[in-house]
Chain A
Amino acid sequence: MLKLFKIIADAGEATAKYPFAPFPVSPGFRGKPELNAAQCIACAACTTACPANALTMGNDTADGTRTWQLNLGRCIFCGRCEEVCPTHAIVLTPEFELAVANKADLLQKATFRLQQCEQCGQPFAPAKEIGYVMDLLRQSGVAVDEARRAEFASCPACKRKATVTRDAVSQHLSQEAEQ
């Protein structure tokens, strides 16, 4: 009995003051994922990686927009999205107070503009992704100036068409040269 009293005395107060005082979590704790929409290029890598289908991406071609959506009710806080994001746009925060009174509040959305193809006018990729690709090339030493944006803002089908035409012309020229 005395032993028990000593243990209890040594333990002191075990109860935390939470919620009247903040409850600290360990560094690296995986809480609510947060999107920095300014940083996001709408590439959809996170939605492909998400094992719980909490992240989804939908295109509205009539509107020319793409909408990223996080359903916190499905999120399992695994952090796969953070792992695969090329721009660090999504990170898991230490936030763990996720209760909401209204189910719809569990949904978070971000809408991005789709790039229309410079040739055919069809939307084919998020506009920001095209800027990202140009930046990447610049970073690896390829001189890409804004004037060439039209080249990058062409859809794969139109690009293919352009390539075929160009090759046909050059082949034609070289045949002429041989003669």
Chain B
Amino acid sequence: MSVSEQTKVGQNYVDGLRERFGAAILETEWQTADQVTVTVKLGSLPDVVEWLYYQQGGWLSVLFGNDERPLNGHFAVYYVLSMEGLVKSWVVVRALVEEHRPEFPSVTPRVPAAVWGEREIRDMYGLVPVGLPDERRLVLPDDWPEDLHPLRKDAMAYNQRPAPTTDDETYTFVNEASGSTRDVPLGPLHITSDEPGHFRLFVDGEDIVDADYRMFYVHRGMEKLAETRMGYDEVTFLSDRVCGICGFTHSVAYSSAVENALGLAVPARAQAIRSVFLEVERLHSHLLNLGLASHFVGFDTGFMQFFRVREKAMTMAELLTGARKTYGMNLIGGVRRDIMKDERTRTLKLVAELRAETTQLIDMLLSTPNLRERTAGVGVLSKQVARDYSPVGPLVRASGFKRDVRDLHAYAGYGSLPFDVHTEDSCDVLGRVLVRAREFFDSLAIIEHALDNLPAGPVLLEGFHYQPHRFALGFAEAPRGEDIHWAMTGDNQKLYRWRCRAPTYANWPPLRYMLRGNTVSDAPLIVASIDPCYSCTDRVTLVDVKKRKSTTVPYKEIERYGRERKNSPLK
């Protein structure tokens, strides 16, 4: 897209980069008024990302690889920075990697937030991050063939499944503790939400000294599927299914990525309706997490009450979209369904009921003596760790950072809707509960305001032209932090590359620091406080059915339980 000089937001960062790094800045290309992609020399990648991150108020939202050999003969790596200093914009740092020398300098030693992304690039593209301390796989199973990198264009079909060669896991869990510790395996089926994740707690008596964990047991290969099997306009329905809770948020993020790439102006009414649906999703998600918070402090009656009231939010979704979950409401260019007068009246009535009933419940939850006792000072995410790892959502907001893409980079109808970004300085589980409680009431206010002020006009843009090889970012604030998507269109109305990052992906890496220093009995509470979403994290390559089966039988893990183990200096 051609963006005129006057409207460019974030030009200051580009100027700064040119001044500081001169010839290392090879090319700049604007995708939208506030999205710029800067191609840099491979060797300067860590310097450039570090400077934007720590000196210019950048946060690392996502990073990914792309096999651009059919386009320009190279692989590429992209580091997406959400610039949250004085000027709010997106700067994407891109570097080309030569095919015969598949490696790039790791950014992780400078910016820890890059760790999962770089491990994933190595798995998926076989590009080696030189200097990355953690050399373990992230996504691929232990017995996956060494030289098969699923997202390379010439690697494999989306439905290929290399036969499993072993039932044993060989993954090494890292223990950074200095004394002797005991291993406590949690999982593979998980403590909080009955989803698969393998946690290893290293404990001294009852105290957690360190923790490590492994995810991606339910990897569904969605990115590969979208790139090879589906039309770009069908992927909106696939993205609806990334998450069982915030699916609509993903589909907004995906649709807007394509809309941004193609330079489409989505009608104002469609944008406002998207915001309404997005907030409906936040309602039921936050009620679920508040219910879980009650459950974990032993207040199960409260849990039941939250779930009873939550049903009203589900009804609201069904009323407005025709489905309780997976709304299926987005198309590229807008939404498929308008909001009629009767639906509006009934929704407003539900909003009023939800407000009254949830006020009572939250009152009750906060006056439960057990709550403060169990959650205050527990699972602390220090400001430094938060700054280093770029977590998102209520987690980062409860550590004092005002990060919310609805506010920072307004999308959908949020530019003209009333809400605050709620923060807490306590950095603990309690803070996250309080942030969610306040956000819940803001969502109700947003829905009311939007329904009372829906702009007139169409809800869908029709008759645009698809263009291949255009790319841009799309994003939306899910209940647990922002979903961020990057889409590049390709030939035959198919995506060339789709990268989808769910919020929990950004929140897992700092979790180990939140577990340290707490007791084993607090672990479920702490994990629940990030409101984790397993399958969303696990979204890219392959599900190893056999392996998944074998991990649901935790005999081996039980055997290990209680076994004394010397601390191995792995790092």
Contact = CB atoms under 8 A, between A and B. Distances in A.
A3 B308 contact: no
Contacts of B336: 79, 83
Interface string A111-139: 00000000000000000000000000000
B363 A77 contact: no
Nearest to A78: B328
Contacts of B237: 51-52, 76, 78
A47 to B, nearest CB: 13
A25 B328 contact: no
A7 B360 CA distance: 8
Nearest to B329: A78
A26 B315 contact: yes
Given A4-B364, A7-B364, A11-B308, A51 B322 contact: no
B328 A29 contact: no
Most chain B CB within 10 A, of A8, A25, A78, is at A78
B318 interface: yes
Interface residues of A, number: 18
Nearest to B235: A51
Q: Specify the main secondary structure of chain B where it touches its partner.
A: helix
Given A11-B308, A77-B328, A30 B361 contact: no
B230 interface: yes
Contacts of B311: 14
Q: How large is the interface on B (under 10, 10 to 19, 20 to 34, 35 or more residues)?
A: 20 to 34
A52 B240 CA distance: 12
Interface string B329-372: 00000001100000000000000000000001101100100000
B445 interface: no
A4 B301 contact: yes
B305 A8 contact: yes
A141 interface: no
A3 B364 contact: yes
A77 B328 CA distance: 8
A30 B301 contact: no
Interface string A61-85: 0000000000000001111000100
B323 interface: yes
Interface string B114-142: 00000000000000000000000000000
19 contacts: A3-B360, A4-B364, A7-B360, A7-B361, A11-B308, A14-B311, A26-B315, A26-B318, A26-B319, A28-B322, A28-B337, A29-B323, A52-B237, A76-B237, A76-B241, A76-B326, A76-B328, A79-B322, A83-B336
Given A7-B364, A14-B311, 6 more contacts: A4-B301, A4-B302, A25-B318, A26-B315, A28-B322, A51-B238
Interface of B: 230-231, 234, 237-238, 241, 301-302, 305, 308, 311, 315, 318-319, 322-323, 326, 328, 336-337, 360-361, 363-364, 367
